Amino acid sequence: MEMYQKQPTATDVKDDPEARELLRQAFERTARWPADFKGFTADLTINVDGKETGGTVTVKSAQDVVVSLPDPELQKWATNTIGMIAVHRGPRTFDQSDGKSVLTLEHDDAHPMGKTVHIHDNLKSHYRIKDNRLTQINRTMGQMKFTINVEDSMITQDNKYLTTRYTVYYFNPQDGKLTNVESFSDAHVRLGQADLPTSRRIISADNGHVSVKTLTFSNHRSL
């Protein structure tokens, strides 16, 4: 998945305080690296359908990820993938994130994945929230529309939700047809005040082919 920039959009819709409080609570229960987090470095092993490649990675922020691998294409893919991990785990406040946008609420309490909060931004985002936890994320980015269903989470030492398993469904925005499915499984290790990735497995189904990729992080060192 490519990186993206969420920006509020102008709207005549009034902000809903109930939606804002619901999303704020879910945001504050989501695990992120601490504000003073300087980053980490680790050994990295990539496995693509049984072919392993080893290297290193240094992560300072979502915009500063350096991967060293002998295969340039694999290095680019790993950099983007780890960059997305850093995007979701990076420190930020609610007001710096979705709190910048107008928020509205659908009263669909009976849905198994919770209520829908609409974020009036440039990505047409809307989330589902249940028990102070984000359970579904929907966005449209140019020629790609996707839904993320959060399936499993762990509770960190800080009593925050840290997602361990989720599935992404990609759709064509024009006709709504499903184009790809990716299943993610993550594991973590505590280092200081931060929960860092130890592995990510991605199972992707695309055009009749299923591919399995893994990233394994070891020998973590704080920066």
Please report whether residue 78 resides in a domain.
yes
- Look at residue 5 in the predicted model and tell me its pLDDT: 64
Q: Let me know if residue 53 belongs to a domain.
A: yes
pLDDT digits (tens, 9 = 90+) for 180-208: 999 999 999 999 999 999 999 999 987 78
DSSP β-bridge partners for residue 183: 167, 203
pLDDT digits (tens, 9 = 90+) for 126-139: 999 999 999 999 99
Average pLDDT along the chain: 92
Q: How many CB atoms lie within 10 A of CB 176?
A: 8
Instruction: Give the Cα separation of 54 and 61 in Å (integer).
Output: 22
In this structure, is residue 198 part of a structural domain? yes
Kindly report the pTM of this predicted structure: 0.90
Domain range spanning residue 86?
A: 23-222
With respect to residue 143, please indicate whether it lies within any of the assigned structural domains: yes
In a domain, 18, yes or no: no
Burial of 29 (0-12, 13-18, 19+ CB in 10 A): middle
Structure tokens at 96: 């710096």
Residue 165 domain flag: yes
The predicted-structure confidence for 78-113, as pLDDT tens digits, reads as follows 999 999 999 999 999 999 889 999 999 998 878 999
Q: How confident is the model at residue 2 (pLDDT cuts 50, 70, 90)?
A: very low
Amino acid, res. 160: K
Confidence of residue 14 (pLDDT cuts 50, 70, 90): very high
Residue 189 lies in a domain: yes
State how many domains the chain has.
1
Tell whether 14 is covered by a domain.
no
